[in-house]
Amino acid sequence: MESFFSSPQRIASLKRKCPPPLNDRKRQFLQPDKEKTSIKIIGECGLNPTCFHYPHNVALDRYGNMFIADSGNNQIRILDRHGQFPSDLSFFVGTLMRENTTAEGEFDYPTGVAVDSQRHLIVADMNNHRIQVFQLSPASRDERTLRQRDQTFQFLRSFGQKGSKTGQFLYPTSVAVDAFDNILVVDHQNNRIQVFNSNGIFLHSFGQKGCGDGEFSGPSAIAINSNGHILVSDTFNNRIQIFDASRKFLVKFGQKGYGDGDFHRPDGITIDPHNNDIIVVDHGNNRIQIFDAAGKFLSKFGQIGYEPGKFLYPNGIAIASGRLIVVDTYNHRIQII
């Protein structure tokens, strides 16, 4: 089976023209709970410093700054905790639109991003079949961090190469860090999760191709809750699987479909830190679904469209200060809901 993320047909689809920009970039939108909430729209399709091109994922540091995997532009873009671009518009990692490069600090379609407790920026450099790690400069507790341009990023290391052996990858799509700063990598086409220490040394792996408990078919995203449980979007099996900290299978939920609790190629996952609710990007159904910690369906919102609160094949998601940050991939934007 061809990779959902890297098939020639899918890469070719990313060459399409950008949709026309929305005239109304921010307006009131009726949420499913019938309460009005201001939805903030960030970016549109393009090459300008405030634009995105098929962004895929988002991570937050401890201060709330946002790190966006701007896949089509081969960059990691950085926004402050308010969702604003820095005033000098220069905060990014990677060279705009440079393709097919294997140089240190450059990317070929990065799709996953995480930040650990030491302010290491960890990037899944998908088409280079590797993980890259950068050191971020020390941060203060306010947005002044994003005005300190000098030595903001320093390349530290990369690990991995194309293959199926231990420590190798076939299209790594997502990364997460646990409480010990170990790096968990979704090895998409090898249908497994690989775990490395903070220096990139292989520790262990779990999963194989299949549809049984603990097996995967094209996994795409990963998250870790406050109990150390590992949640994996098992994309082509249209389900979420949960494992304990020792990688023992616990439970699964979801099936292919369009009803409540069903999925069509689930992708990004985030955890509500207050109650461990599981928030899943239901990519193919153009919606967000929310479940309790055991996988019981609670609510949903979103549908296909261009207006605020609607999505076009979203991928990544994060939560900050009670608001969801959704990477609305094919609308080339970020929505803060």
Give the per-residue pLDDT at 136: 85
User: Using one digit for the tens of pLDDT, what is the confidence trace for 261-299?
Assistant: 999 999 999 999 999 999 999 999 999 999 999 999 999
What's the structural domain count of the chain?
1
Q: How far apart are CA 116 and CA 133, in angstroms?
A: 10
Q: How far apart are CA 69 and CA 58, in angstroms?
A: 6
The pair of three-digit structure tokens given for residue 45, joined into one six-digit string: 């399709």
Confidence bin at 92 (pLDDT 50/70/90): low
Q: Bridge-partner residues for 40, per DSSP?
A: 26, 336
Total Cβ atoms within 10 A of residue 297: 15
The pair of three-digit structure tokens given for residue 298, joined into one six-digit string: 């609670």
CA distance readout (Å), 135 to 115, 119, 153, 283: 10, 6, 6, 31
Does this model's pTM top 0.75? My answer is: yes
Give the per-residue pLDDT at 94: 61
| In the predicted structure, residue 151 carries a pLDDT above the cut 50 | no
Residue 126 within any structural domain of the chain: yes
Buried b (16+ CB within 10 A) or exposed e, 153-173: beebebbbeeeeeebbbbbbb
Beta strands in 126-264 (DSSP E): 130-136, 153-159, 172-177, 183-187, 192-196, 202-206, 221-224, 230-234, 239-243, 249-253
**113 φ/ψ sector (left φ>0, alpha ψ -120 to 50, else beta):** beta
Residue 161 within any structural domain of the chain: yes
User: Using one digit for the tens of pLDDT, what is the confidence trace for 100-122?
Assistant: 678 999 999 999 999 999 999 99
User: Using one digit for the tens of pLDDT, what is the confidence trace for 226-259?
Assistant: 999 999 999 999 999 999 999 999 999 999 999 9
- Indicate the DSSP class of residue 17: P
Residue 39 within any structural domain of the chain: yes
Residue 13 within any structural domain of the chain: no
Residue 311 within any structural domain of the chain: yes
CATH number at 114 reads 2.120.10.30
- The candidate with the shortest Cα–Cα distance to 175, out of 326, 62, 316, is 316
Confidence bin at 44 (pLDDT 50/70/90): confident
Note down the domain range covering 198. Answer: 32-336
Residue 25 within any structural domain of the chain: no
CA distance readout (Å), 208 to 104, 132, 327: 30, 24, 28
Q: How far apart are CA 45 and CA 51, in angstroms?
A: 5
Give the per-residue pLDDT at 88: 55
